[in-house]
Structure 1
Amino acid sequence: MTLNFVEIPTAGGGWLKPAEIKDAVALLIEVNSYEPQRPTPNGPKDSALCDVTVFKTPESLASRTPEVNKGMRIEQTLLARDLEKVVGNATIVKLDQVPPKRPGAHPAWVWRPVNDATVRQAVIEYAQAREAAVNAAVADAPDFD
């Protein structure tokens, strides 16, 4: 019998702070799970647990040296709800803010697609190379059967 190893998603990557990565060239969001109305100290919130790969600059994209955050919790309402349909998959996005609808409210963070085809292709190539490296490591692992 072969074992199928999977990682248990944990919130070891902290919480997404959009203001810190708002100028990133691209974000690779891999959604592990989604919980509607998850209990928090500040009341229930929609919550997505994701692996977030941040390409902060064009140089980090070109050299394939992103910032990788495994198990990052995303609880901003619009951001989390948009990820509900992506569970088990990945998306390539950027962050943007939209003006508030009510006077005095804060602008909301939203995902925007990365429209630059070369940036999208570079992120896809990074993900494929990472997956190939994982598969090669698994293939090189000793077989104890």
Structure 2
Amino acid sequence: MTFALNNLPTANGGWFKAAEQQDAVAILLEVSGFERQRPTPNGPKDSALADVTVFKTPDQLKTFTPEVSQGQRIEQTVLARDLEGVVGSAVLVTVTQVPAKKPGSHPAWVWRQVTDPEIKNRVIAYAEQRDTAVQSAVSDAPDFD
């Protein structure tokens, strides 16, 4: 039997703060879970759980040195609901605000798909390099059988 090591989806990465990521070049979201109307101290909210890799600057993208948060909770209404259909996969996005449709309402945070092929290719190269390093580390680990 082959040993398969998985991670438990836990929210040890805090909460996603869209305002802090609005200038990011690219955000790689690897969504591991979604809960509809999860109980919170502020009332029930739709909630997504994801590993969030943020490339804040073109230099971070170029050098493969993003900011990585594993198990980050995303609870802004529109952002979380958009991730419900991509549990178990990844998306490459940025985040921005759109004006409120009703007077007196707050602007909403929304995802924007990254369409620049150069950015996509760099993020894919980063993810492939990361996954290769993990596989290498696992295969180099001692066998205790």
Give the TM bin, normalised by the shorter chain. over 0.9
- Gaps of at least 5 residues in structure 1 are none
Amino acid at match of 1:19: A
Q: Which residue of 1 aligns with 2:119?
A: 119
**Alignment TM-score, normalising by the size of structure 1:** 0.97
**Alignment TM-score, normalising by the size of structure 2:** 0.97
Q: Which residue of 1 aligns with 2:39?
A: 39
Q: Which residue of 2 aligns with 1:142?
A: 142
Q: Which residue of 1 aligns with 2:25?
A: 25
Amino acid at match of 2:5: F
Amino acid at match of 2:47: S
Amino acid at match of 2:73: R
**RMSD of equivalent CA atoms:** 0.8
Separation (CA, whole Å) in 2 of partners of 1:73 and 1:56: 19
Task: For residue 3 of structure 1, report the CA deviation from its aligned partner.
Answer: 2.7
1:51-90 correspondence to structure 2 within 5 Å: 51-90=51-90
Separation (CA, whole Å) in 2 of partners of 1:114 and 1:69: 20
Q: After TM superposition, what 4+ stretches of structure 1 lie above 4 angstroms from structure 2?
A: none
How many aligned positions are there? 145
Task: For residue 95 of structure 1, report the CA deviation from its aligned partner.
Answer: 0.5
